[in-house]
Amino acid sequence: AQSVTQLDSQVPVFEEAPVELRCNYSSSVSVYLFWYVQYPNQGLQLLLKYLSGSTLVKGINGFEAEFNKSQTSFHLRKPSVHISDTAEYFCAVSAPLFSGGYNKLIFGAGTRLAVHP
């Protein structure tokens, strides 16, 4: 079974500073990895995903994440944040299906990013 841990519940940062939101996963098989963003009183929006191939994944709004298999991590980064990036960010994991059945995403507890002027 898979699990995911977001290491920081809150991350405060000043505008135009870089930021890293940390995500570690646990799985005995290969994984799919996702980052979602949630603005206040809204649903979740997909930022980026890793399925296979290049370990550096670029997403929307200038975010990127790097898959590190040896560290079982998928940290989200942005070189320069804006006030509008203030939101909650969720990491999620799943595992590819190789036979019948169905699959689900497992979500982390979320990290609240607060960007200050």
Contacts to other proteins by CB under 8 A? 9, 32, 34, 36, 41-46, 49, 51, 90, 92, 94, 96-97, 101-105, 107-110
- In DSSP terms, 35 is beta-bridged to 48, 91
Among 23, 106, 35, 30, smallest CA distance to 64 is for 35
Residue 64 C-beta: closest distance to other proteins, Å: 17
Residue 4 C-beta: closest distance to other proteins, Å: 10
Tokens representing 11 are 């991350």
With respect to other proteins, which residue has the nearer C-beta, 1 or 97? 97
Residue 9 C-beta: closest distance to other proteins, Å: 7
Q: Which residues of 16-40 are buried (b: 16+ CB within 10 A; e: fewer)?
A: eeebebbbbbebeeebbbbbbbeee
Residue 34 C-beta: closest distance to other proteins, Å: 5
With respect to other proteins, which residue has the nearer C-beta, 36 or 63? 36
Contact 19, 80 (CB under 8 A): no
